[in-house]
Amino acid sequence: MKTIKGPGIFLAQFLGDEAPFNSLKSICEWAAGLGYKGVQIPVWDPRCIDIKKAAESKDYADEIKGIVQEAGLEITELSSHIIGQLVAVHPAYDDLFDGFAPPQYHGNPAERTRWAVEQLKYSAKASRNLGLNAHGTFSGALLWHTVYPWPQRPAGLVETGFRELAKRWVPILDVFEDCGVDLCYEIHPGEDLHDGITYERFLEATGNHKRACLLYDPSHFVLQCLNYLEYIDIYHEKIRMFHVKDAEFNPTGRSGVYGGYQGWVERPGRFRSLGDGQVDFKGIFSKLSQYDYGSWAVMEWECCLKHPEDGAREGAPFIRDHIIRVTEKAFDDFAGGGADETLNQKVLGLK
């Protein structure tokens, strides 16, 4: 068995225009001071990385790696979540998602998608140059507006949607394969890959592409009332990344899963800082250790109540205390007698 690595921290929610959050060097020093051992870097933020340059220049990638290592940290993975979202956008969401792309692509969905695909291919090559073996992203969505259909979905709509989604992603997955990097989809409401069934549909549509893997984040399953522990039993062979994020679901007689268009504070389903929600992290870390997950446990902070710096300060010891240093021997080894085929035959009554 392998011991999970960590604690790591996803930098996206902490980057800003003021020190220490405005450069890779200073934010890494801040994270290290809190006890983190790794950082997950968003590829869309130039304060951290120029992803095209990291894809094309091993020297530049080594420079980025050196900045992180100088702070006593490792790069856990790169993340392209908001870029992956742009690989598949239903026209109803065009205006809302334009903000995820540079201004020159606003109002031009085809060029915006082309740009996103290019960025993802850069992310694969940059991950290779940085010596990473996994990358996190979103799938995007063509079908999400039909998730609770009225009127009913036309026959064949879902199959057509997943064929198109796979058609867009397979060329990207092929680049990740060439680079030896797993592309890990965060299963997330709003994406066409939002639960196990939709992941299975997508995987089948890609021809079971070996690089189409999973980023496990239990918070999104709490809000969907999905069994997030059994999910590990089913999909553990595909889980290559892990976001440690807490959540709670407290339905009332007035509001449930869909939230009534309320703000995050008022919704029955809310993201919380680690330890403040309902996620059974002891169960999760136990199952991941049982199934030999040996990669990073990375905190993603998205709490509607607590200050992010307090969430970050509390997150490192929370993860550290949940990581199980796996045993190298069985607890009853002391009573073992070694291998003896003659004795085995006798115990079975065969001699």
Once rounded to an integer, what is the mean pLDDT over residues 66-94?
Answer: 98
**d(C-alpha 124, C-alpha 211), whole Å:** 11
Is a pLDDT exceeding 70 seen at residue 337? no
Q: What are phi and psi of 183, to 5 degrees?
A: -100, 115
Domain span holding position 177: 5-347
User: What are the structure tokens assigned to 318, written together?
Assistant: 């929370």
| pLDDT value of residue 146 | 97
| pLDDT value of residue 351 | 79
| pLDDT value of residue 40 | 99
Is a pLDDT exceeding 90 seen at residue 342? no
**pLDDT cut 90: percent of the chain above it:** 93
> CATH code at 272?
3.20.20.150
CA distances from 137 to 244, 250, 261, 304 (A): 16, 28, 26, 23
Is a pLDDT exceeding 90 seen at residue 275? yes
Once rounded to an integer, what is the mean pLDDT over residues 201-223?
Answer: 98
Closest CA to 86 of 71, 77, 78, 96: 96
Query: What is Dmax (Cα atoms) for the chain?
Result: 82
**pLDDT cut 70: percent of the chain above it:** 99
Average per-residue pLDDT for the chain: 97
Other C-beta atoms closer than 10 Å to the C-beta of 92 total 9
| pLDDT value of residue 344 | 87
**d(C-alpha 285, C-alpha 37), whole Å:** 18
Q: What are phi and psi of 111, to 5 degrees?
A: -70, -35
| pLDDT value of residue 140 | 98
Query: pLDDT tens across 23-47, in order?
Result: 999 999 999 999 999 999 999 999 9
Query: pLDDT tens across 117-162, in order?
Result: 999 999 999 999 999 999 999 999 999 999 999 999 999 999 999 9
> Please, which residues bridge with residue 216 across strands?
242
Write the single-letter amino acid at 151: P
Residue with the two structure tokens 């929610």: 13
| pLDDT value of residue 330 | 77
In terms of Cβ atoms closer than 10 Å to its own Cβ (0-12, 13-18, 19+), residue 55 is buried
| pLDDT value of residue 328 | 83
The least confident of 205-219, 298-312, 330-344 is 330-344
Q: pLDDT class for 340, splitting at 50, 70, 90?
A: confident
pTM of model > 0.85: yes
| pLDDT value of residue 332 | 72
**d(C-alpha 142, C-alpha 93), whole Å:** 10
Is a pLDDT exceeding 80 seen at residue 335? no
Q: pLDDT class for 334, splitting at 50, 70, 90?
A: low
The total number of structural domains that make up the chain = 1
Q: What are phi and psi of 153, to 5 degrees?
A: -70, 135
Once rounded to an integer, what is the mean pLDDT over residues 195-208?
Answer: 98
Once rounded to an integer, what is the mean pLDDT over residues 175-183?
Answer: 98
**d(C-alpha 311, C-alpha 209), whole Å:** 37
User: What are the structure tokens assigned to 278, written together?
Assistant: 């309902």
Is a pLDDT exceeding 80 seen at residue 333? no
